[in-house]
Amino acid sequence: MAYIRRTVLCCALLGSLPSLSLPESFSAADGQSTEIPFKLYNENLIVVKGSVGPMGDVNILLDTGTSPTAVSTDLARRLNLHGATEPLVSANGEIDVDSVILPRMDVGMLHITSARVVVQDLSFMQRRLGISIGAVAGVDLSARVAS
């Protein structure tokens, strides 16, 4: 089961399909297959609709090159998420980031609860893509879904 989830998520993250049809074992309760539609921006950026906490219809950018997952400062403020400043080691050295516990993130039938994420100003993505981005789901969350 974990292998199928990992394979399905990898296909979604790689953007090889215009919409993702899940295997029979992932059929909805009514027996219908489930799809996770996405839009492709700039030929390589995959954006899906999902929910973060109680907020629905959130644009979530899927990025296997990102870790940890980030939520926008605007979304963190609207969800009243508070955390602590922690050091994060990146390719550019160590930086301080605001870290919070995200209560829940849902994309289609994929659900993640109590995940530690960072808060980041994602307004540059809105300017680049022309849509607001509420979160950037990184490889750290895909590993949590697959396990």
CATH code of the domain in which 116 resides: 2.40.70.10
Q: What is the pLDDT of residues 53-74, one digit of tens each?
A: 999 999 999 888 888 889 999 9
The domain total for the chain is: 1
Q: What is the pLDDT of residues 98-132, one digit of tens each?
A: 999 999 998 887 788 898 999 999 999 899 999 99
SS3 for 35-90 is EEEEEEECCCEEEEEEEECCEEEEEEEECCCCCCCEEEHHHHHHCCCCCEEEEEEE
Structural domain of residue 124, as residue ranges? Answer: 2-146
